[in-house]
C-alpha cells in the first residue's frame, strides 16, 4: 500500500515524523481523510485527534489546534501542542479538566469563560486520545 509522509511540529519542536497509509484530522469544516496523492491544501485544525492509519494499526495524536498543510506526498501539521497517545499524562489532563470545570461554574467574564472552555476541550481531547476513544 502506498504511504504519505507525516510531520507534526509544535513550538517546542518536532513531535512526529513518519509515514502513514491515511491521515485523519479534525479541521474547522469537519473531519478530513488524506490519502497519498491528495490535492494540495491548507486547513485550520481544531482541538482534536489526528489518526494515522498504518499497516500495523492506528496511531493517535492529541492536537490542540493549528494548521494542516497537504501536499501529494506529505502532510505537515503545525500544532500549538501535540502529544502521542502514549505520552499523555492522564493525571495532568484530569487535573486540567477539573480546573476548567470549576472555572466554568464560577461567575466570570466572557474572556475567562472562553479560555476555560478551550482548556476543558484540550483536557477532554487528551483523555479521549489516551484511552483510544477517538
Ligand atoms: P495544563 O493546564 O495541564 O498545562 P494546558 O491545556 O493548558 O494543560 P497546553 O498549554 O496545551 O496545556 O500545553 C503546554 C505543554 O504541555 C505542551 O507542550 C503540551 O504538549 C504539554 N501538555 C499539556 N498537557 C499535557 C498532558 N496531559 N500530557 C502530556 N503533555 C501535556
| Domain edges within the chain | 4-87, 90-131
Whether the per-residue pLDDT at 46 is higher than 90: the answer is: yes
Third-level CATH fold of 4-87? ATP Synthase; domain 1 (2.60.15)
Average pLDDT over residues 64-78: 98
pLDDT in tens, 14-28: 999 999 999 999 999
Nearest ligand 1 atom to alpha carbon 82: 20
Render the chain in DSSP notation, one character per residue. ---EEEEEEETTEEEEEEEESEEEEEETTEEEEE-TTPPPEEEEEEEEEEEEEETTEEEEEEEEEEEEEEETTEEEEEESSEEEGGG--HHHHHHHHHHHHHHHHS---HHHHHHHHHHHHHHHHHHHHHHT--
Which residue's C-alpha comes closest to atom 24 of ligand 1? 93
130 close to ligand 1 (CB < 6 Angstrom): no
| Confidence band of 122 (pLDDT split at 50, 70, 90) | very high
pLDDT value for 114: 92
| Confidence band of 107 (pLDDT split at 50, 70, 90) | confident
Amino acid at each position: 500500500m502506498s504511504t504519505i509522509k507525516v510531520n507534526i511540529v509544535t513550538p517546542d519542536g518536532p513531535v512526529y515524523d513518519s509515514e502513514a497509509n491515511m491521515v485523519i484530522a479534525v479541521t474547522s469544516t469537519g473531519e478530513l481523510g488524506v490519502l497519498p496523492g491528495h490535492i494540495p491544501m491548507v486547513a485550520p485544525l481544531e482541538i482534536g485527534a489526528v489518526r494515522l492509519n498504518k499497516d500495523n494499526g492506528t496511531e493517535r495524536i492529541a492536537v490542540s489546534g493549528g494548521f494542516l498543510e497537504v501536499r501529494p506526498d506529505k502532510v505537515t501539521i503545525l500544532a500549538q501542542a501535540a502529544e502521542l497517545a502514549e505520552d499523555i499524562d492522564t493525571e495532568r489532563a484530569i487535573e486540567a479538566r477539573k480546573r476548567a470545570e470549576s472555572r466554568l461554574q464560577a461567575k466570570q467574564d466572557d474572556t475567562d469563560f472562553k479560555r476555560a472552555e478551550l482548556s476543558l476541550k484540550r483536557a477532554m481531547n487528551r483523555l479521549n486520545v489516551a484511552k483510544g476513544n477517538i
